[in-house]
Chain A
Amino acid sequence: SQTIHQWPATLVQPVGSPLSLECTVEGTSNPNLYWYRQAAGRGLQLLFYSVGIGQISSEVPQNLSASRPQDRQFILSSKKLLLSDSGFYLCAWTMGTRTGELFFGEGSRLTVL
């Protein structure tokens, strides 16, 4: 069966520090991968998605970046965090069919102080 893991689960970082959140999927090949952010009490904002290794689509211009160095690995990064980067970050995957659902990871809570 397929599983998705992301880490760390919780992170407290000072403003201006770097960020790296990692997500891996097991049990499937060539998934579409996604990073969402959920601000407190708000909906989901799509940040990046990827349909293959090295292919990244950015939805929102910001100081975050994403990379997909391997088929089932998706990394969210920042060189310098802002206060507004605080939130709940969710990694997700799906297959490329129209009817497939998104499968979400457990989430990573980032607090920037």
Chain B
Amino acid sequence: GNSVTQMEGPVTLSEEAFLTINCTYTATGYPSLFWYVQYPGEGLQLLLKATKADDKGSNKGFEATYRKETTSFHLEKGSVQVSDSAVYFCARRPTGNQFYFGTGTSLTVIP
């Protein structure tokens, strides 16, 4: 299939804590992988992406590495801020026009 499995939330962290949100995908072909962020009441914004194995996407202190051997694309940040509170979505795009999203992980960062 073409599923994306994402870590269940909600996640609550203290400011400056380390963040990991797990994401795995079913391995069909060579998809591009994405992390999106959604702030309350808004649409989704691209956070980072990786288009081939071993690529590392990074943006705003967030990182994710495309791991073909473990079919994973885990999102990490070394020190979260209150402003990082949002819902995070992992997504894959196999060859073609379809995108497949995880169910989203809600993150709350408390001061």
Contact = CB atoms under 8 A, between A and B. Distances in A.
A54 to B, nearest CB: 16
A8 B56 CA distance: 37
Contacts of B103: 42-43
Contact of B43 (A51, A90, A96, A101): A90
Contact of A107 (B36, B42, B97): B42
Interface string B46-66: 100101000000000000000
* Range for the number of chain A residues in contact with chain B: 20 to 34
Contacts of A96: 97
A15 interface: no
A99 B32 contact: yes
B95 interface: yes
Contacts of A101: 32, 34, 46, 49, 93
B45 interface: yes
Interface in A60-112: 90, 92, 94, 96, 98-107, 109
B45 A104 contact: yes
A35 interface: no
B43 A32 contact: no
Given A104-B43, A106-B43, A98 B101 contact: no
23 contacts: A32-B97, A42-B103, A43-B89, A43-B103, A44-B44, A44-B89, A51-B97, A92-B44, A98-B32, A98-B93, A98-B94, A98-B96, A99-B32, A99-B51, A100-B93, A101-B49, A102-B34, A102-B99, A103-B46, A104-B43, A105-B43, A106-B42, A107-B41
